[in-house]
């Protein structure tokens, strides 16, 4: 694909145009990444709010009806539902199951555990169950 | 609409597997005779095409259990196995006017176990292969 940049700091409004034969997931992801204006979400620890940047997030998961943001070595509570955060996330994130989203750059490996479920073992040792029907999305994201 | 399309595909796969099965049974029924002497009734063939299609759709519906993320694969397979086995037994006994015999029961269960082992054995092998493939890719990163 040919990519052309017109860089001029005097532009009043920045815009991106795609000239494509058909819409693909790759283009949709690129468009979504370009539209993400905020690069962080607010996470809470003992009633104190912290800016958690997307690039730091390993996973966002629901446990006991609460949504938690997990980074390399901290956990924060997100005061909202998983679907609310899902729409704003960049394409580094994939849905692991109905109750978890993971940043695929931080996956160390997958492991089939004894009961037949599949765990994504993250680089910090965190285990997140990944639904078998989501494996296809992960493969696609990894370019397989 | 998506589900309807998938169920049709599943029905067609069912026809494919059913016809292989049908062909194997015809070959076994020959008892060493020349293949040219095999007789297949059109009515029987049409019935098995239709039955295979319905079985394929049934397997698709029964596979909805695999969408339950909160169940382990073991639990999903056990539930799916018994749901399919019961349906298969009803189907097999209906074909024999619900006349019970231990021989028929053993034969029906044996055939089912063989089909199930082939189908899910293949699925599990595919799953292990996919996980290995992903892990190799992750190592490269």
Find the closest chain A residue to B73 by CA distance.
A116
Q: Domains in chain B: how many in total?
A: 2
pLDDT in tens, B38-48: 888 899 899 99
Question: How many C-beta atoms lie closer than 10 Å to residue B97's C-beta?
Answer: 6
B93, B32: one domain = no
Residue where a domain terminates, one of B13, B42, B67: B67
CA A123 to chain CA centroid, nearest Å: 15
Judge whether B123 is closer than 8 Å to chain A, CB to CB. no
Residue B113 sits in the same domain as residue B92:
yes
Would you call B72 and A117 a contact, using CB atoms and an 8 Å cutoff?
yes
What is the average pLDDT across A106-121?
91
A39-55 tens-digit pLDDT: 889 999 988 999 999 99
pLDDT of residue A62: 94
Is the pLDDT confidence value at A33 over 80?
no
Residues B99 and B141 in one domain: yes
**B112 and B83 housed in the same domain:** yes
Split at pLDDT 50, 70, 90, the class of B37 is confident
- Which structural domain range is residue B100 located in? 69-141
Of B67, B84, B99, which marks where a domain is finished? B67
Residues A119 and A128: beta-carbon distance below 8 Å = yes
The pLDDT tens digits of the residues spanning B113-133 come to 988 888 788 888 988 999 999
Compute the nearest-CA separation of B67 from chain A (Å). 8
Burial, B59: exposed, middle or buried (Cβ in 10 Å; 0-12, 13-18, 19+)?
buried
Select from B67, B82, B115 the last residue of a domain: B67
Radius of gyration of chain B (CA): 18
**B50 and B100 share one domain:** no
Percent of chain A with pLDDT over 70: 100
| Rounded Cα gap, residues A121 and A83, in angstroms | 23
Chain A touched by B131 (CB under 8 Å): yes
ipTM computed for the complex: 0.77
Same domain, B61 and B113: no
Q: Which residues of A touch B120 (CB under 8 A)?
A: none
The pairing of strands A100-103 and A57-63 is antiparallel
Residues B80 and B59 in one domain: no
Q: What is d(CA A77, CA A42) in angstroms, rounded to the nearest whole number?
A: 9
Percent of chain A with pLDDT over 90: 52
Exposed/middle/buried for A118, CB within 10 Å: 0-12, 13-18, 19+? buried
pLDDT over 90 for what percent of chain B? 27
Same domain, B49 and B96: no
Residue B98, pLDDT score: 83
Q: Which pLDDT band holds residue A109 (cuts at 50, 70, 90)?
A: very high
Beta bridge partners of A40: A53
- Domains of chain A in start order, with CATH, are 25-141 (2.40.50.1020)
């Amino acid at each position: 694909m040919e990519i052309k940049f017109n860089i001029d700091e005097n532009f009043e409004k920045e815009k991106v145009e795609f000239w494509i034969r058909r819409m693909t997931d790759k283009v949709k992801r690129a468009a979504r990444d370009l539209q993400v204006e905020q690069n962080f979400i607010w996470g809470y620890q003992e009633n104190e709010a912290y800016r958690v940047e997307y690039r730091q997030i390993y996973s966002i998961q629901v446990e006991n009806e609460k949504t938690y943001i997990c980074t390399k070595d901290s956990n924060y509570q997100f005061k909202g539902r998983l679907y609310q955060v899902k729409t704003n996330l960049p394409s580094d994130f994939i849905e692991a199951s109905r109750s978890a989203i993971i940043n695929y750059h931080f996956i160390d490996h997958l492991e089939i555990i004894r009961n037949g479920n599949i765990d994504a073992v993250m680089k910090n040792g965190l285990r997140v169950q990944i639904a078998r029907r989501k494996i296809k999305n992960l493969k696609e994201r990894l370019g397989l | 609409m998506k589900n309807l399309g998938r169920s049709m595909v599943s029905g067609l796969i069912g026809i494919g597997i059913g016809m292989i099965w049908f062909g194997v049974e015809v070959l076994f029924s020959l008892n060493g005779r020349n293949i040219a002497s095999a007789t297949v009734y059109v009515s029987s063939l049409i019935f098995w095409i239709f039955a295979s299609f319905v079985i394929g759709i049934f397997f698709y519906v029964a596979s909805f259990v695999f969408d339950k993320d909160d169940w382990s694969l073991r639990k999903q397979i056990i539930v799916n196995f018994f749901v399919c086995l019961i349906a298969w037994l009803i189907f097999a006994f209906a074909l024999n006017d619900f006349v019970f015999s231990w021989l028929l029961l053993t034969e029906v269960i044996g055939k089912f176990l063989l089909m199930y082992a082939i189908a899910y054995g293949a699925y599990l092998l595919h799953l292990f292969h996919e996980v290995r493939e992903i892990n190799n890719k992750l190592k490269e990163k």
